[in-house]
Every structure is written in C-alpha cells, then in structure tokens.
Structure 1
Amino acid sequence: MTQLNSAYGQLADTFERVGHLGAASSTLFWDGRTKMPTGGASSRGKVMAALTSIVSETMADPRLGDLLDRAESEEAGTLGPWEAANLREMRRRWRHETAIPTQLAVQLSERVALAQKAWEKARADNDFAAFAEPLEGLLGLQLKAAAIKGDALGMSPYDAIMDVHEPGMTTALIDDLFADLADFLPPLMEQIMERQAAEPAPEPLPGPFSDAAQMKLSEKLAVMIGYDFDEGRIDLTAHPFANGVPGDVRITTRFFEHDPISGIMATMHETGHAMYEAGLPRNWSFHPVGSARGMGLHESQSLLFEMQAGRNAAFLPVLGEAIREAFGAASDSGPWSDANIGRLYRKVGPSLIRVEADEVTYPLHVILRYRIERAILDGALEIRGIPSAWKELFEEMLGITPPNDTNGCLQDIHWSMGLFGHFPSYTFGAVAAAQLFEAATQQDAEILPALGRGDFAPLLRWTRQHVHSQASLAASSDEILIKATGSPLSADAFKAHLQARYLDE
C-alpha cells in the first residue's frame, strides 16, 4: 500500500484534488450549455477562469516537479501497474499544464466563455463577421499557447495540441490516414449513391415529431444500450455532447421537428460516450490513470454504438419497432416499414452538417476541418477568410456548396471552445470503431444475435473488458487496440466495413 507521506502518495492526493476541480468545471460547462441564462456568460467565464487558475497554480508549484522526480527515481520500483501508470500520467499532465503560464491559461479560459456565447449568437444569426473578432482574440492566445507547448514538448505546435486530445497522435500519422481515406471515399460514395439510386427512394417519416415523443424514444434507446438514469440525465442543447463524473454522466442531444433520425443518431452517439465514462474504473476516479485514454478512443466508443451496432442490419428492425411505437405509427408499412427506415438511416450522399453526415462521407467533413485548422495555425489562412475557404473546400471534397455560414463554418462549437487539434480524433474514432467491432463480433458470437433482440449487453461487456476498464493504464490508444484487436490503428477494417454494408449486403 502506498504511504500517504511518500512522494507518490502526496502526488496522488494533489492530482485527485485537481480531478475534483476538473469535475466541477465539467458540471459548470454542462450547465452553461443547457440551463444557464445567456446573461450569465461573463460571470461564468470568471468562475471557470478561477478554477483554471487554481489548477494552473497547483501544477506550477515547484514542489510538484520535485515530487515527480523523487517518485520516479526512488519509488517507481515499489509501485503496482496502476500506480506506475498513474505516475506516468501525472508526469504527462504536469508537462502539458506547466508548459503554459498561469496567466495565459486564465486568459484562455475567459476568452472561451465569451467566444462560446458569441458563436451561439452568430450561428443563430448566420453572421460569421460577429464571431470573427472573438475568435481572433481566442486564436491569438491559442497560437501563443501552441507555440510555447510545442517548444516545451519538442513537438510541432499542431502536434502538441493534438497530443492533449489523443496521446501519440501526430500530423504524420493523420496525414497518411487522411490521404488514404481522401482517395478511397469519394469513388466509394459514387458507387453507393449509384446503387441506392436504383432502389426505391426513402420516404420521409410523416411528422411533425414533438420534443416530448423524441425524448421518450431517446431515453428508451439509451437504456437499451445500457445507460443508467440513476446516474445521469438527458437534456437538449445546440450541439450535443456528453460529460460528467463518476455516478453522474450526462447526455445532451437535439431534436428537429421534421427529422427524428437526427435526434436518434445524436442520442446513440452521446450514449456511447457516456458508457465509456461510466465504465471507467471507479477506484481510480479523479486520478489521471482513471481517465479515458484519449478523445480518438472516446470517439470510437460513440461510433461503435451509433454506427457499427446502431446501423447494423441485425438491429435495424428493433429500431424500426421503437420508432413506430414512439410516434404512434398505425402500421409497419409505407414510410414506417423497416425497409424504408433502413433506407433513411443508411442513405449515403453529400450533406452540409458534419454531425448528421453518413458514415461514408463523415471523414471528408473532418478532413476539411483539419486542412482549415492547419492553414490557420500555419498562418496561411486568416480567420476572416474561413467562410470562403470552407465553401471552396466543401465544393472540392463533397461536390456541394453551403448556402450560408450557419450550415457551413459556424456549425461546430469546437473553435469557440479553443479545441483546435480535436477534429482528427473523430476519424481516428471511426476507424478504431470498425476495428474494435470487427474484433468483438469475431471473439463473441453472441453480439450480433443479441443486437437483433435489442440487447447491447454482450457488446457492452466486451467493450467494458477491452476498452473501458483499461482507462489510461496503457500509454496510448494503439496499445489498447493491439491488445483488443491484434493490430495498431489501421483503416483496413473501416474500408472493409463500408464496402460490406453498402455494396455487399
């Protein structure tokens, strides 16, 4: 048992308290996106900045660096595997946190709170110009932080900010993966669209669909996957997300009156995220090693349940029945038939909104954002040039042009949160999800038949064992993938999955 007065014991106590502060920030963020009145943005920014300041000052304490040195040199051999991994993650967190001066970290937190509200209004008003100035202010600080962190960690600025979200992810890895997918996906999309054009056109479900009915369906699907409402809740927001702390993992979703499919997708996606958080080892809650390994792996869990399982042929009849029940369909024919719902749910083609894109075109949305981010951070593109660059790339990659900025460059919240370097995690996640689902169904023959009964338990057990329970015991997501699937991240399973689902079934 580690002594509390040992170097490691003192570090564990400090980092656990930092984890508590992070949990407070997480809950305040949820409140800001769901319940907080718009007039609270300035005050909330100060509160969030204060929490950021406390964490930053704690990390900047010279005593912490001395304790890390002592624990690594004098106590490492006495630690068990989880304690050793916790110490490794403490050092990693400390390096990232101390690379940024406290004053700069506080300024970033304040700017983020203001930029989020500016983004919300600009998005609602289709007014990118109103968002440009707050984004420029935030980006200026972000560029400074990325440069400082890159120097401190011996990485390029963009690699340094990606490493925050997914340890070990580099532009070299992403460039190769994205080049492969950018070559593979457009011709595949054309093949699929040609095949689907020869089939009956999907009929829209006859709405309107009330928020109350859609919420009831969302709750049913979340429970089906394994979500526990004694330890969470679902609320509406402009941009769906999931976050929380052990025992309180919250989901947000959004509904459209004439399109229930969008809400279904959002809820299943965020439930996947929530199941990862809920499945992390509770005896390591608030400690660095008890956190999810990275955002790419996190995204793999949301897409595992939304895309791999949620759109699997075995599950579609179950989903059809749930939809008909939720909206009081008189029969299972016409637009309410399983076949039509399947065509709606699996329709492939270029679309404007990333979070509503099909799984074939979704990576192209991510590649577009990655290219714009790289151009911004490399100084090749100014903030006010984003709308025109966005439209040009969209036309080039997806063959359509956004009619406005609300459905174009203002659709995502990420830049208003300072989350540059985050978008590549989404495609990392899609690729990893296919790889994990392939391994899971090969290793457990009960998973697919169970999905046909609306039972996600076998799949959830497998992910609990191979992903969730591992938390950050491994130093990278690749280590988890190798142990679970036998190989590091590869696009092979993803490409084979798309081919099989859309051209071979």
Structure 2
Amino acid sequence: MSFAKLDAASRKLEALEHALSILGADEATHMAVGGGEKRAEAMAELAGMHHQQATAPVIADWIDAAKSEDLEPDQRLAVGEFERDYVNATCLPTEFVQRRTTATMRSEQLWRDLRAKGDWDSFLPALEGVIALVREEAGLRAEATGLAPYDALMDQYDPGNRTADIDGVFADLKAFLTDFVPVALDVQDQRLARRPRKTLNAPYPIEKQRELGLAAMRAVGFDFTHGSLAVSHHPFCGGVPSDVRMTTRYRTDEFLSSLMGVLHETGHALYEQGLPKSWSHWPLGKARGMGMHESQSLFVEMQIARSGAFWEFMLPLVHQHLGEDAIPGWDIADILNEVNFVERGYIRVDADEVTYPLHVILRYELEQELVSGKLEASQIPEAWDAKMTEYLGISTINDPKDGPMQDVHWPGGAFGYFPSYTLGAMIAAQLGTAMRKDLPDMDEQMRAGDFSAINQWRGDKVWSQASRFSTPELITRATGEPLNADHFKAHLRKRYGQA
C-alpha cells in the first residue's frame, strides 16, 4: 500500500526532525562555545538529508496512489497533510532556496550590527534584496497552491487563514483598540491614584526563582517525565513532544518577567505534550500552526496567569519559594497592578495585552503592501511612523532602532508570520469564553490550584485534534463559532476598563 510507504517515510523524517530539534535546543542552552562550527555542520547535513527525503519525487506518486486506497478517516486526512507539506517543500526551486538563504543570513547579520546603531540607510539595501526575494517566493507559492501571494505566505504559518477573513476582524479590533487604549490608561490612572505601584524587594536569587517557576509549571500541568526547563538568552519552547525543551531567563532585580515567561512557554509545552502520540510522525499529528500555538501559550499567560483567581493560588507559592519578605505588604491587587500594567510603547515584544495587537496590525498592513509592491522598502520609515502615530500616539520617524528595525522577522524574510500573534490572543479569549460555559466554576478551580479540568477541556478541543482541521475550522469546532473579535474585546473591557 502506498499509504504504508508514506507512513514509513514519515517515521524516518520524524527521526531527523527529532535530532534537529534536540540539537537546536542544546545549542541554545548547553553547547560549549567552541562547538558552534561542528554543530552547524551536523545540523546542515541532517537538514539536507531531511529535505532530500521529504521532496523525493516518489513521495508525490505515493500521495496520488494513496488517495484511491481504502483508508480510515484519520489516514485520509493524513494524506491531505502529506500533500500540503509536499507542495510547500517542493514549490521553491533549489537555486531560489540557496539565493534566499544567503540573502537572509547576510541581512540578519547586518541587522544585528546595525540595529543597535539605528543605521537604517546602511541596512536598507539588504532589506530591499530580501523583500524582492519575498515577492518572488510569494509568486512561486501562489502558483503552486492557487492562493493569493500574501495568503500563500501566511498559509505556511497558519493553514487556512486568509486576508479576506482576517482583514475585517483586524479592522474591527483596531477601531476598538484606538478608542479603548486611552480609556484603559485613564482607568489605570484612577486605580493607581488610590493604590500606587509598589516597589519590589530585590534581589531575587536565581535558584529560588527557578524553583518558583518549576512549581508553577507543575501546578498548571507540565509533565516533567517528558520535558525540562533550562536557561537561554531568549525564552523558547523547543524539542519534541516526548522531550519538550523549555527555557527562560532571569533577572535578580525582579521575578515577575521570568515567571510570566515560564507560564507562557508552559502553554506552548502543554500543547506539544497533549498532541496524539500514535501518529506523531505524520504531519497530521503536528500542532496546527502558529496562531493556535500562540493561543495556547497566551491562554495560560493571559487568560489564566494574569487573573486574580490564579494569583490567589500563586501568591502563597511566591512566599514559599522566594521568602515571606519577597514582596512585603503586597496583596492580589498589587500583583495585578504590576502584571497588567498598560502603557504606550515603541517595542512590540515589551508591549502589554492592550496595546500589543496594534503593533501586530501595523506590521500586517505594511507586509501586505510590501508583498504586493504598493509599498517599497525605502518608504517603510514614513509609513511605519504614520501608523504608530495614528494607532498609539507616538512617533518613530527619527528612531529606526525602536521602529522598523526592531524585529528580526523582516530581515529574516519571515513575511506572513506576524498575524499569528494577535490571532493567538483572540483565539485564547474565545476559547476562554467557551470554556467558562462548560466550566462555570473555573475560577474556583484555579484558586484551588486545580487545572485538570481546564487542561482536559483544551486537550479534547485543541490538543488531541492536532492538524485534523484548518485553523479557522478548528476554532469553530472548539468554540462553536468562527473567529470573533468580540470575545477579546470583552476580555479587555472586563480586565482593563473598570476602575
């Protein structure tokens, strides 16, 4: 049977993916400084083997033949995902991939050096080259998939998402947020006038912070027999579902950023650990795109870990692991003042829950114009500043470092990725609304430190479904309706709109 051949091939590909994932996680955490050159050679060799096997012409023959075989429902869905992966892997000629790799590596290297200096003019030629290649890639992917060029780029990260659907949702959210941000800031000022922010009683030893993070991970359901926590320059969740490699970073002057980062990455990890194990080697067994992945991390971080109910459970753990005098005189309201602080800012990755979507929508709108040719790279600073001024009331016209040079995505050619971040926040809020209907005592469960029913609900609705459905269909099946910005708006009003 051809399906059996696809199954066998996917097991070999999974073995290579496993090795690459663990080597990559180790490189960021434990690899000796002098090991980089040989590690790069080994990973490049393995990646080449993976690409060669994944794009072998015989795979296409097996996919075509398997379509006419008598298959079980999940096997039939698996064939569709095999085909989607194969088209995505083979639609770019090797010569193009080599050109793109060279250009994006050089662009990223320049970006690392020039961003700190805010030297836009020196960076521009490299970015122009990357954007030209992105347009070429969008055309190649569009031709292979039948999608519009930007949709074809976006489909790599969130299968099924289309600008025709997202444009309206984002426009609605943008209109709401531009009005709501001043309201949230005013409400915050009123609250802080009554209860000012308190100072933290630093320093916080790293080992004690680590123990607190491990306790939080354990409480919300992380399986330490299939995962671990390490330290890296930038927090991430990597590895494989059977061996999830999570990382964080620590500051001794405060502990909340590391703790919230740990909880965010634990959300990613729970998704990976909850995927169906019997067909983990099929593309169908993988997580369904970046938007769904972000929804799971943001569900833990935003829907759970920035709520009062969660902190009624968490505050005693802070005292247990950091000491009774860790935050002297603080109560739940003081913690919430800190973890839910809103401010207009330049930097996306530092943005709060209220302003963050505006940073993403700005990039989403500019990306579409760059891919279509409506906007050229040289025009980015002015276009960026116009949107920052309109959406957040701050100007970046003389500050490219904290404006259009702040993210690695464009230097690296990752166009179509940004929407996933805000889609994830919206999906998380919508999942939260649906969950509360099924679990009306959800807050009481969190206060008691019992996350089993919450995780079971997400396991049934999201994790166990893996890639059976497109992102939009998975949202509808899990919540009973298509993506709807009203749930996210209601969440923000409840948390930030009441003095």
TM-score by length of 2: 0.90
Match of 1:482 in 2: 476
Deviation at 1:118, TM superposition (A): 5.0
Question: For the structure 1 residues 283 and 307, does the alpha-carbon distance in structure 2 shift closer, same or farther, using more than 3 Å as the test?
Answer: same
2:186 corresponds to 1:186: no
Give the Cα–Cα distance (whole angstroms) in 2 for the partners of residues 91 and 351 of structure 1.
Answer: 43
| Residue 366 of structure 1: aligned partner | 360
Show the 5 A alignment for 1:11-410. Answer: 11-36=6-31, 47-72=42-67, 74-75=68-69, 78-109=70-101, 118-122=110-114, 135-199=127-191, 200-330=195-325, 333-334=328-329, 336-383=330-377, 386-387=380-381, 389-401=383-395, 404-410=399-405
1:124, CA displacement in angstroms?
5.7
**CA positional deviation for 1:138:** 4.4
Deviation of the 1:356 alpha carbon: 3.1
RMSD: 2.8
Q: Letter of the 2:239 partner, please give it.
A: G
> 1:455–1:103: structure 2 CA closer, same or farther, 3 Å change rule?
farther
2:410 match: secondary structure: helix
Q: Output one character per residue of 1:195-222: Cα deviation in whole Å (capped at 9) or x when no partner.
A: 1111223223232444434333222222
CA shift in 2, pair 1:182/1:454, >3 Å? same
SS in 1 for 2:244: strand
Q: Quote the offset at 1:439 in angstroms.
A: 1.0
User: Aligned runs of 1:412-427 on 2, under 5 Å?
Assistant: 412-427=407-422
Report how far residue 82 of structure 1 moved.
1.4
- Counterpart code for 2:318: I
- Give secondary structure in 1 for the equivalent of 2:323: coil
Quick one: distance in 2 between partners of 1:231 and 1:79? Answer: 32
Q: Which amino acid aligns with 1:181?
A: L
Contact in 1 for aligned 2:161/2:471 (Cα 8 Å): no
Q: Residue 150 and residue 156 in structure 1: after superposition, are their counterparts in 2 closer, same or farther (change >3 A)? A: same
- Worse-matched range after superposition: 119-128 or 151-160: 119-128
Do the aligned partners of 1:255 and 1:263 also contact (CA within 8 Å) in 2? yes
Aligned 8 A contact 1:49 1:107 in 2: no
Structure 1 residue 300: Cα displacement: 0.7
Letter in 1 for 2:139: A
Quote how far apart the aligned CAs of 1:368 are. Answer: 1.7
- How far apart are the structure 2 equivalents of 1:389 and 1:241? 31
CA offsets 1:96-149 (integer angstroms, 9 cap, x no match): 111111333355455555655555555566656676565555444433222211
2:486 alignment partner in structure 1:
492
Offset, 1:298: 1.0
Once the two structures are superposed, what CA deviation does each residue of 1:320-374 show, in whole Å capped at 9, x if it has no partner?
333344433427654x322211111112221233233221111111112212322
In structure 2, relative to structure 1, the CA distance for the partners of 1:89 and 1:331 (3 Å cut) is closer
Q: Within 1, Cα distance between the matches of 2:32 and 2:390?
A: 40
TM-score w.r.t. the length of structure 1 is 0.89
Determine the C-alpha separation between the residues in 1 that align with 2:66 and 2:48: 26
Give distance in 1, aligned partners of 2:364 and 2:245: 28
Q: Distance in 2 between matches of 1:128 and 1:329?
A: 49
Structure 2 Cα separation of the partners of residues 14 and 343 of structure 1:
52
Deviation at 1:416, TM superposition (A): 4.6
Q: Sequence identity of aligned pairs in percent?
A: 39
SS state of the match for residue 159, structure 2? coil
Provide closer, same or farther for how the CA distance between residues 41 and 406 of structure 1 changes in structure 2, counting only shifts above 3 A. Answer: farther
Shift of 1:181: 0.8
Structure 1 stretches of 5 or more lacking a match? 1-5
Are 1:462 and 2:457 counterparts? yes
Single out whichever of 8-17 and 22-31 deviates more from structure 2: 22-31
Assess if the C-alpha contact under 8 Å between 1:292 and 1:468 holds in 2.
yes
Question: Number of paired residues?
Answer: 495
